[in-house]
Amino acid sequence: METTFLMVKPDGVHRGLIGKVVSRIEERGLRIVAMKMMKIDRETAEEHYAEHEGKDFYEPLLEYITSGPVVAMAVRGNSAISLIRDIVGETDPQDASPGTIRGDFGIDIGRNIVHAADSEESAERELNIFFKSQDYQEYSRVEENWIYE
C-alpha cells in the first residue's frame, strides 16, 4: 500500500468542493488516513513549493496558497499515487479530461482545485510537511476485500 499527499487548495475550499473531492477518493476505493483543514503560513508554503523557487509564478503561488484555508490529506491504497493523479487530472484544467476533478471543476491553471504529489519522493516529503505520525489513523474499509485480491 502507498500513501500519498493530496490538498484541496483555497479555490476548492471556497467553492465548496471538499466533499466532491473526498467522495471521488473514497468511491475509487482509497482510504483517507489523515486529514486536516488549515491555513498555510508563508514558511510552510515555501517548504512545500521549494522546487518552484525562482520561477516567475513562485511568488503568486505562495500568495494564493496562503490566501485561505486548505484541506490536507494523506490517502492510502494500492498504487495510490498514480490513482490520485488519475482522479485529479492534468495540472492545467484545459488539458484535463472530463471526469477528473480538474477537468470537471477547473478552468485556469492558477486555480486548479487540488494539489497531488507526483512521485513517491514528493509524497513522502509533502506528507512530512503537513502530518506527524500521530495524525494517521489505521482502519480498514468493509469493502476492501471486494476491491483488492
* Residue of 30, 32, 39 lying closest to 9 (CA atoms): 39
Q: Is residue 147 part of a domain?
A: no
Q: Is residue 93 part of a domain?
A: yes
- 14, 48, 52, 115: which one is catalytic? 115
Q: Is residue 24 part of a domain?
A: yes
For residue 33, give the CATH number of its domain. 3.30.70.141
* Residue of 140, 9, 113 lying closest to 69 (CA atoms): 9
Residue 75, classed as helix, strand or coil, is: strand
pLDDT digits (tens, 9 = 90+) for 60-72: 999 999 999 999 9
Contact call for residues 44 and 129 (beta carbons, < 8 A)? yes
Residue-level length of the chain: 149
Active site residue 115: yes
Q: Within its chain, how far is the Cα of 101 from the centroid?
A: 11
pLDDT of 148 over the 90 cut: no
What pTM did the predictor assign? 0.94
Task: Give the Cβ contact number of residue 37 at 10 Å.
Answer: 11
The pLDDT of residue 53 is 94
Q: Which triple of cell numbers denotes residue 95?
A: 488539458
Tell me which residue range forms the domain holding 122: 2-135
The alpha-carbon radius of gyration of the chain (Å, integer) is: 15
Domain count, the chain: 1
pLDDT digits (tens, 9 = 90+) for 87-103: 999 999 999 999 999 99
d(CA 36, CA 38): 6
